[in-house]
Every structure is written in C-alpha cells, then in structure tokens.
Amino acid sequence: MGKKISHLGARCAGVYGSLKEFLLTAPSFLWLVVFFLIPSILVFAIAFRSADSSGSIADTWTFDTIRNVMRSDYLGVLWRTVWVSCVSTLICLLLGIPVGYWIAQQKPQYRYWFLLIVIIPLWTNFLIRIFAWRVLLHPEGFLRQSLLWLGIIPDDMFLLNNVGAVIIVTVYTCLPFAILPIYAAAEKFNFALLEAARDLGATRFNAFKNIFIPGIRRGIFTAILVVLIPALGSYAIPDLVGGVNGEMLGNKIAMRVSANRNMPEAAALAAFLSIIITVPVLLFMLKQKKLIKAVISTKHGGDDRK
Amino acid sequence: MGDFFEFKNIEKYFGDQHIVKNVSFGVRCGEIFSLLGPSGCGKTTMLRIAGGFEDPESGEVFLESKDITKTVPNKRKINTVFQNYALFPHMTVWDNIAFGPRTAGIKEPEVSRMVSKMLEIIRLEGHGSRKPDTISGGQKQRVAIARALINNPKLLLLDEPLAALDLKLRQYMLLELDRIHDEVGTTFIYVTHDQGEAMSLSDRIAVMNNGVIEQIGTPAEIYENPRTKFVASFIGDTNFFDGKIIDQIDRENCKIEMNGLGEFPSFNEHKLASGSKVTVSIRPEKFRIFDRKYEAENLNMFEAEVIDIVYQGAQTRYWVRARDHRINILTQHNRCYLDSKQPTWGDKVWVAWHRDDVTTIPEETPH
C-alpha cells in the first residue's frame, strides 16, 4: 500500500515537474511562435499571392511570382550573394583561426586584453563604421591614394562601390564574431598535442592542420554560422559600399518592399533567402546531433565496460 | 669517444631562473637511464631539450656523436611519451599509433602491418577502433608508448609516464615497461620523481637537484654510496650524524667523532683528511640491536633507549634515542641476535653497525 502511494506521489511529482517545465518555457515558446514562426509562414504564403497595382497584396493565388523570381538577373544576384558570403566567411576563418590560436597561447593575464582589442570596434555604431570605410575606400581616400602612390594598384582600380568593397567591409564587421568562438575552442585545446605531433615527425604546418584544426572544429563550425548567416542576409553593407555591381539579395528585397511596392515578390525573395540559410544550418545541426549521439553512445559504452 | 646520447655543458634559464646549471652526462646504447629528482629540479627541462622542445642557452646535445642541438623535433630520431599521454582525442587508437608512419609517408599496407605489430606488443589487439576517451589510464599509457615506438626511435624519452596512474597499475606498468624495453631494445631516458620506479627499472640513475646532477650510477651504487647528503636522503631512508675525522686508521678507514656518541672507525670512501667535518649517513637496515654490549671485529656500538616500535610484518622499525639523536632502525626478525628476547619500549639496548656500512659525506658537497 505504502509503495503504491509513493509511486503515485512520484507520478504526481513527474506531472507537476513537466507542468512547471512547460510554464517556464511557455513565454519564449509563445514569443517564437508569434514573432517568428507565424511571420515566416506568412512570408512563405504571401510569395504565392498576386500583387495589385496599388502596392498591396491581392487575394488570388498564383505561381507567377515564384516563376518571376527565378529570372536570370535574380539568379545572378543570388549567386553573387552566395559567393560573396562564402568568400567573406573563408577570409574570416583564415584571419580568425591564427588570431584565436595566437591569443590562446598568450599568458592568461594578457589574453583578456587581446580579446578586448578584438571587441572594441563593436563599441562604435555599425553604420558609423561603414561610413568610415566609405571614407577610407573613396577614390580620393587615404587607402587608394597610398596604394596608388606605392604603385601597388593600377590607376583604373577603384576600391569603393564594387564587390571587393562589400567583401572587405563584411570581413571587417564579422571578424570579431569569428574570432570569439574560435578563441573559446582554442583556449580549451591542449597545446601539448602539437608538441606530440611534432615529436612524431609532423612539420609545424602539418601539426596545425591535422591536430589543431580538428581540435577546434566546433569553434570553427560556430564561426562559420555566425559569419555566413548575417553575410547572406546583409543589406546595409552592400547598400552603402557595394554600388550597382555589389548588390545582394537583401538589397533586392528592400527595393521590392519600399520602391516597387511588390510585396509578393519581396516575400518570394525573402523565402528564397531563408531556404538558402536554413539548409546549411539544418545540415550542420544534423551533423551536430550525430556528433552528440556519438559522444553519448561512446560514454555509455565506456560505462558498460566498467 | 662519446656515449650513444650526450648532453654537454647544458645551461637553461627561464626568465631569471637558472633551471639547468652546466649539466653534462651520457647515456649508453640500449640502457634505461633515469633522471630522478624532486619536482622543479630541471629533469623535465632536460628531457624537453633532448626532444628539441626547448633550446638550451648554451651547450650541445649529441646523438650517435652527431650534434643535434639545432635540429627541430620532427627531424630527430627521438620520440617522447608525454606526461599526460597527449593522445590525439579526435583519432582512434589505431590512427594515433599510425600518425608517425603516415606522416613519414609510409604506404598504408605497411602502416597497417606496423600498427598491428605495435598493438600486439602493447597487448591491446582489438582496441584499435576505440577513441582515447574510452580506454583506461593504463591503456592510454601503452598507446602513447606504442605511438612513440612505432617510429623506431634511437631514443625514447618518457616524462613521468606513470605519474597519473594508481599504485597497482603503476606496479603493473613498470613490469610492462621493462618487458617492452626487453622486446624492442630501444634506449630509454626515463624522468621520474619516484625513487622506487627509478630503482626497479633503471640500469643507471642520474639524481638531479636544483639544476645540477648530484650523482650518476647504478641503483646499487646510488643507494649504497651516495655522494651527497641530498642523494642519501632522497633515495631511501637514512640517519645523518654530524661528525669530524680525528684520525686515519689505514688507507681505507678513519676514526670519526660522531657528535657525542663516541669515536668510531669508519670506511672513508672519499679519502678525507683528518680534521675535516663530515656528515655520516647510516641506513636504517644497516643497524642491528643487541640487548648487551657485544664484541666483534669492526663492529661499532653505542647505547640507546627504545622510544618507539612499529611492527611491519616482514620487518620491524625501531626508533631509538641516544643523546640528542633520534635514530631509525629497521630489523629483520632474526632472533638469534637477540637471544630470543625482543626489545620493548623504554629498554636500554646496544645499537651496532659494521664500520663498512657507513657513508661519509664531506661537509661541502662537491659539485
């Protein structure tokens, strides 16, 4: 009898516990549903509506917008968006990994100063920093004039209002966000492993490539996500420094919303962009899940043997 | 002509700390050579200099008479077993062991044959696909050894390889290390702070303290004839007495006044002159206890009082007091010496030792 009661008690506690859990997560869940899930579904839905001439959404369904969005000039912008983002991410990694590696090897009391130096630019407003880049990259600006004077670039090369400027400024903006997760992973890395690799005959570069990079791969994955996603959706940077040839998908969406008042087309482009972003993230999460599962199963295996 | 592996006049500073002070010694081909000393004595630094991970301020390192002081770690035919194993966590046991040969560009079928043989030597066949996190400390240790030995090094450096293991496993791994050494015949340099490990494994031991080699010798030489006070106290237990040489008896022996206990004939290994101050070291097991004064050739004796007795099964440890000295004595249970009567607390006894079982250490230890 006593046993039954205690069993019942446990079950009550379980129900009560899960209710508490539900109540605790409900606000954030509700927030996500109202402000993220429903709007996303609406955006996807609007993409299949037709537009009327007054700039609002008509109440008939159509595939025309989607077909329209598949036009080659859009695909050109889409392609540019993807490759500019990927190149920016790659450069961020190429710059961020050595920096994270270097900071993690400094004495602990100095590391935080170096991290501070990485973060300090973020204290200035994002737009102000981009305008500062406009000044720097301007044809009469300091950077181009010095490079011309040094004879590094030809006379007909301009630094502003092209894809190059978009990449430079995107890298500049995203680099701190790439360095931080890489540093966090590098700080936990056991640097004796690099000595072990050297001891076993690996060159400095091979030890870095085969031992350090796999050792901080989680940090690198995170860095890719935090750089690639904002870069794919970026709007302000191409708008301010990209010029006509530096336009990205974000600018097209903005134009359809504000100048052209063609909501369905804007929605279709936005949906397109979210798919581009979601697919790699989902792939990554699946990989992570496998990773987590692998860790759990090996842990269990280890316990079983003990 | 030099040894197989040699350090010559090595100096090393970390900041303004003088870590290694003009150290020179040689290691013979095929031996297990231990660097023994307390933590911070510079022994790990010596090992890292041998591996190429630290550059000495001055001095040279020779392997088979070739100067390798400036050679980078990956070009040395030397491999290291690191203190905390440093196994690559993202690789399986198999890939860890295969790392060296693969880096050297050896073809995969040959690598596979080598790894299988190594797994056999360390008796971990069937563990190749495991990740380092999923094997025990002793197994990790053996994988670390295999990963180093597969490269066929001329010299294997082991940095406190058993420090992270518990006592039982440590004893087992000592036997394993000895077996592996017999099987592969590689020269080992073994760094440890544990005298038991060093004594049971080594062909020769270098005792290091404060960046200086205090003594190099076989375990027996180091134990029986410590050259300095530090060596005498670091290796095993001992009793120290301040003394002064008052007379020479013959070429080998002298008479020492032992701080109020009396004047005793003693073996004078260092041929010290009369009048010099010495520290006399007598190991606990060199003493014998008698219940009366006992006359025998070359046997020294003084009277003492038993203050503590610790029965340890195979032996009994006595603490006796004589004047200001507390003396530690270890006896086997040989009743014949005691006429069947065991001394007990407070007994007056006679403590005896043979004059040859004494180590006289000069006051100012030679460096």
Q: Where are the domains of chain B?
A: 5-233, 237-362
Determine whether the interchain pair A193/B134 forms a contact, defined as Cβ–Cβ distance below 8 Å: no
CATH no. for residue A212? 1.10.3720.10
A42 and A104: one domain? no
Determine whether the interchain pair A200/B147 forms a contact, defined as Cβ–Cβ distance below 8 Å: yes
For all residues of chain B together, what is the average pLDDT? 89
Q: Which residue of A has its CA nearest to B152?
A: A200
Chain B residues whose beta carbon lies within 8 Å of the beta carbon of residue A215:
89-90
| Comparison of pLDDT for A7 and B313, the residue scoring more | B313
Beta strands per DSSP E along chain B: 5-14, 17-27, 32-36, 58-63, 66-67, 78-81, 155-159, 187-192, 204-209, 212-217, 239-248, 253-257, 263-267, 277-282, 288-290, 299-311, 316-322, 325-331, 348-354, 359-362
The CA-based dihedral angle spanning residues A169, A280, A264, A61, taken in that order and rounded to the nearest 10 degrees: 170
Chain A: closest CA distance from residue B194 (Å): 23
The one-letter amino acid at B192: T
Cα R_g (chain A), whole angstroms: 26
Q: Which residue of A has its CA nearest to B79?
A: A199
Chain B: closest CA distance from residue A238 (Å): 40
Structure tokens at A149: 């004077």
Q: What SS3 state is found at B104?
A: coil
A172 and A31: one domain? no
Residue B271: the pLDDT is 80
Contact B285, B274 (CB under 8 A): no
| Comparison of pLDDT for A294 and B89, the residue scoring more | B89
Taking the C-alpha atoms of residue A266 and residue A261, their distance in angstroms, rounded to an integer, is 9
A306 pLDDT tier (thresholds 50, 70, 90): very low
A179 and A261: one domain? yes
Per-residue pLDDT reduced to its tens digit, A106-124: 999 999 999 999 999 889 8
Does residue A63 lie within any of the structural domains?
Answer: no
Phi, psi of B329 (to 5 degrees): -125, 135
A41 and A126: one domain? no
Reported ipTM exceeds the 0.85 cut: no
A10 pLDDT tier (thresholds 50, 70, 90): low
Taking the C-alpha atoms of residue A163 and residue B6, their distance in angstroms, rounded to an integer, is 61
Which has the minimum average pLDDT: B103-112, B138-147, B321-330?
Answer: B321-330
Which has the minimum average pLDDT: A111-115, B81-85, B342-346?
Answer: B342-346
Mutant choice from B88, B156, B159 vs A, greatest count of A C-beta within 10 A: B88
Determine whether the interchain pair A195/B82 forms a contact, defined as Cβ–Cβ distance below 8 Å: yes
Q: Which residue of B has its CA nearest to A198?
A: B74
A126 and A14: one domain? no
Residue A12 has pLDDT above 60, yes or no: no
Residue A301: the pLDDT is 41
A42 and A79: one domain? no
Contact B102, B82 (CB under 8 A): no
A78 and A14: one domain? no
Residue B43 has pLDDT above 80, yes or no: yes
Residue A105: the pLDDT is 92
Which has the minimum average pLDDT: A179-193, B14-28, B89-103, B259-273?
Answer: B259-273
Contacts of A204 (CB under 8 A, 6+ apart): A198
Domain that residue A105 falls in: 72-299
Does residue A52 lie within any of the structural domains?
Answer: no
Does residue A88 lie within any of the structural domains?
Answer: yes
A14 pLDDT tier (thresholds 50, 70, 90): low
Chain A residues whose beta carbon lies within 8 Å of the beta carbon of residue B153:
none
The one-letter amino acid at A37: L
Determine whether the interchain pair B74/A195 forms a contact, defined as Cβ–Cβ distance below 8 Å: no
Chain B: closest CA distance from residue A208 (Å): 13
**Does 2.40.50.100 match the CATH number of domain B237-362?**
yes
Rounded mean pLDDT of A207-214?
A: 94
Residue A303: the pLDDT is 37
A280 and A167: one domain? yes
Per-residue pLDDT reduced to its tens digit, A163-189: 999 999 999 999 999 999 999 999 999
Contact B301, B314 (CB under 8 A): no
DSSP summary character for residue A212: I
Per-residue pLDDT reduced to its tens digit, A61-82: 888 888 888 877 788 888 999 9
**Which CATH topology does B5-233 take?**
Rossmann fold (3.40.50)
A30 and A102: one domain? no
Q: Which residue of A has its CA nearest to B82?
A: A196
Residue A9 has pLDDT above 90, yes or no: no
Number of Cβ pairs < 8 A linking chain A and chain B = 65
Burial level of B183, CB count in 10 A (0-12/13-18/19+)?
exposed
pTM above 0.80, yes or no: no
Percentage of chain A exceeding pLDDT 70: 90
Cα R_g (chain B), whole angstroms: 25
Judging by DSSP bridges, how do beta strands B204-209 and B32-36 pair with one another? parallel
A207 pLDDT tier (thresholds 50, 70, 90): very high
Residue B283: the pLDDT is 92
Residue B337 has pLDDT above 70, yes or no: no
Residue A291: the pLDDT is 64
Judging by DSSP bridges, how do beta strands B58-63 and B5-14 pair with one another? antiparallel
Taking the C-alpha atoms of residue A246 and residue B251, their distance in angstroms, rounded to an integer, is 98
Residue B1: the pLDDT is 46
Residue B321 has pLDDT above 50, yes or no: yes
Taking the C-alpha atoms of residue B131 and residue A245, their distance in angstroms, rounded to an integer, is 51
A290 and A141: one domain? yes
For all residues of chain A together, what is the average pLDDT? 85
Query: What total number of domains does chain A contain?
Result: 2
Determine whether the interchain pair B86/A190 forms a contact, defined as Cβ–Cβ distance below 8 Å: yes
Mutant choice from B45, B75, B103, B160 vs A, greatest count of A C-beta within 10 A: B103
A99 and A41: one domain? no
A122 and A38: one domain? no
